[in-house]
Amino acid sequence: MADQQRVGALPEHVVEAINDPQRLSVLHELEASEAVGDADFDRIAKLASAIMDVPVALVSLVDIDRQWFRSAVGLSERETPIDQSFCAHAIAGDGEPMVVFDASADPRFAQNPLVTGEHHFRFYAGVPMRVANAAIGTLCVIDRQPRPEPSADQVEQLRALAELAASIFSLKAGTRAGEKAQVALVREERRRAIAIEAASLASWVWDARSGVVECDELLPELLGLQTTTRMRARDVFTAIDRRDLGKTGTMFRETLADSDEYFGEYRVRGTEPSRWLATRGRVVERDSDGKALLVFGVNYDITEARATNERQRLLLRELNHRVKNTLATVQALATQTVRHARNPSDFLEAFSARLRSLGLAHGLLSDHEWRGISIRELIRTELQPFQEARPRIALRGQDVLLSPDQAVGLALVLHELGSNAVKYGSLSVPQGSVLLEWSVRGREDKRLLDMSWLESGGPAVSAPAHHGFGSILIKRGLAKVLSSEVIHEFRPEGVYAGISMPLASAEETQP
């Protein structure tokens, strides 16, 4: 509110002049320091004071609510309110110097505190400083005594100094802008360098005229060459594996001739396992005939990405194979289950339980990308539905890895053993239990897994007159595992099952 009152005390044409948006924009874009004292402006102010032979000289900038002094000779104040500003009137004029011979006799300033107060201003001469065709302030001189009109030479010299001051403002603003741009450029370059380093990108520039490649030290490291930041283009091609050299060279030449963008992948010569690199390049300069002169680019290691893609490809192939096998298994389960079922409800219950068992095994295999899975994890997963609050199936044995075929077959066998134990065997009574033990024998390349299922504490056991599909599945569930053997006996003290099968090799069970 105080600022509005001060502006309101000025004549309307002065208020319009100091509030001009274009003028204020130029003033604020200069970002002139508000500190009083600058060697360049101080010299101009002192020279103006000497030329006009007055005690006070100011380099004054006029804002919307105040004027402040970039240089002040003979005055201790750093700024004054806008309603006391002589300079506001000067910039509202026609661009010519404004001269006041005796301010106490001038209606515009007679009641001004700078005139009636301790400063006792009387004489004023000010020339607008113009930057980008906008009056940002004035170079002015002041005396505390009335003075006659200055000579034409004095006024002309004052005008020249004002133009010099305006030029210095422009130069300083340009210098600050340049410094900011330089700082921004350095920051951007640092950001780019950090990003390239973080991404392990080897950047390079190839001059086609000289055949020289300027690069960072990562490029020769990726190529298996001696550390350098300058090499010949032929050195790069020499480092490419012979299997990829022809294709890479052809694609690169086609890019230089017909396109501006290049992308290629190749192996590095002499690396085992093979190191794969990707290259992205762009033609940034061509001559008048369209011939490439300058190419920028980056190289980066894609060995891990290639290995991941290969694993995914093999996994998809394995999945396709497993899906076919699974469909065949499901079809066989359905056919045999319905053949041995007494009624539809028996079929639905038995078939659903066997599908759940198959699904649990497939879920574990999927989690392990259809590679080796832990026998203990498989057993716990398949037998969990038959365990109660007090586990009655005791597990004893070392942990080993099973192949997919072994896991699926063993899962179906364990499910049938558990299901029969709950329906008819030891787990059908509270005091019954099961001991499941397994061990490994043999050499590393020919290991065998021996497993036994022994029920105890259940009802008296006798061999059934008719063997259902469950019993058949127990004996044949591992049919896909070569050299496997399953014994299923109905001993008086409890059902016994013995399983023997060769364990998978490390290649079959490791990712």
Predicted pLDDT at 1: 36
Cis peptide before 273 (omega within 30 of 0): yes
Q: DSSP for 274-324? A: PPEEEEEEEEEEE-TT--EEEEEEEEEE-HHHHHHHHHHHHHHHHHHHHHH
Q: What is the 3-state secondary structure (H, E, C) of 248-270?
A: HHHHHHHHHHHCCEEEEEEEECC
Residues 229 and 344 in one domain: no
Residues 147 and 260 in one domain: no
Residue 34 lies in a domain: yes
Confidence of residue 8 (pLDDT cuts 50, 70, 90): very low
Residue 449 lies in a domain: yes
- Order the strands of the 134-143 sheet from edge to edge: 79-81, 66-73, 56-62, 134-143, 123-131, 98-100
Query: Is the model's pLDDT at 254 over the cut of 60?
Result: yes
Can you point out the beta strands (E) in 314-445?
373-374, 393-396, 401-402, 433-443
Predicted pLDDT at 468: 53
Residues 363 and 465 in one domain: yes
Beta bridge partners of 491: 494
Confidence of residue 202 (pLDDT cuts 50, 70, 90): confident
One-letter amino acid at 289 equals D
Q: Which domain holds residue 207?
A: 202-301
Residues 94 and 48 in one domain: yes
pLDDT tens readout for residues 275-315: 999 998 888 888 888 888 899 888 988 888 888 777 777 76
Phi, psi of 344 (to 5 degrees): -60, -35
Contacts of 383-389 with CB under 8 Å at 24 or more apart are 383/414, 383/418, 383/436, 385/356, 385/418, 386/418, 386/419, 386/421, 386/422, 386/427
Interacting residues of 196 by C-beta distance below 8 A, sequence separation 6+: 203, 216, 298
Q: Among candidates 146, 170, 13, which has minimal Cα distance to 90?
A: 13
Residues 247 and 377 in one domain: no
Beta bridge partners of 218: none
Residue 227 lies in a domain: yes
Predicted pLDDT at 366: 66
Residue 312 lies in a domain: no
Boundary residue ending a domain (249, 283, 301): 301
Residues 207 and 167 in one domain: no
Residues 217 and 146 in one domain: no
Higher pLDDT, 154 or 506: 154
Neighbours of 244 (CB within 10 A): 18
- Report the share of the chain in percent with pLDDT over 70: 77
Predicted pLDDT at 36: 60
Predicted pLDDT at 474: 59
Residue 382 lies in a domain: yes
Predicted pLDDT at 9: 76
Q: Give this prediction's pTM.
A: 0.43
Predicted pLDDT at 200: 72
CA distance 332 to 351: 11
Neighbours of 250 (CB within 10 A): 11
Predicted pLDDT at 119: 92
Confidence of residue 437 (pLDDT cuts 50, 70, 90): very high
Distances (CA, A) of 85 to 34, 93, 112, 145: 17, 14, 9, 18
Phi, psi of 103 (to 5 degrees): -65, -30
CATH code of the domain containing 225:
3.30.450.20
Residues 162 and 214 in one domain: no
Residue 453 lies in a domain: yes
- Mean pLDDT across the chain: 81
One-letter amino acid at 191 equals R
CA distance 14 to 3: 15
Higher pLDDT, 199 or 44: 44
Residue 322 lies in a domain: no
pLDDT tens readout for residues 110-165: 999 999 999 999 999 999 999 989 999 999 999 999 999 999 999 999 999 999 99
Residues 338 and 485 in one domain: yes
Place of tokens 């594996």: 241
What's the mean pLDDT in 423-432?
88
Q: Among candidates 235, 291, 216, 233, which has minimal Cα distance to 260?
A: 291
The CA-based angle 373-374-378, given to 5 degrees, is 90
CA distance 163 to 129: 6
CA distance 92 to 112: 18
Residues 14 and 68 in one domain: yes
Q: Could you tell me whether strands 433-443 and 393-396 are parallel, antiparallel, or unpaired per DSSP bridges? A: parallel
Residue 247 lies in a domain: yes
Q: Which of 324-338, 376-390, 490-504 has the lowest mean pLDDT?
A: 324-338
One-letter amino acid at 333 equals L
Predicted pLDDT at 4: 39
Residues 238 and 355 in one domain: no
Residues 288 and 424 in one domain: no
CATH code of the domain containing 160:
3.30.450.40
CATH code of the domain containing 345:
3.30.565.10
Q: In total, how many domains does the chain have?
A: 3
Burial class, 488, CB count within 10 angstroms (exposed 0-12 / middle 13-18 / buried 19+): buried
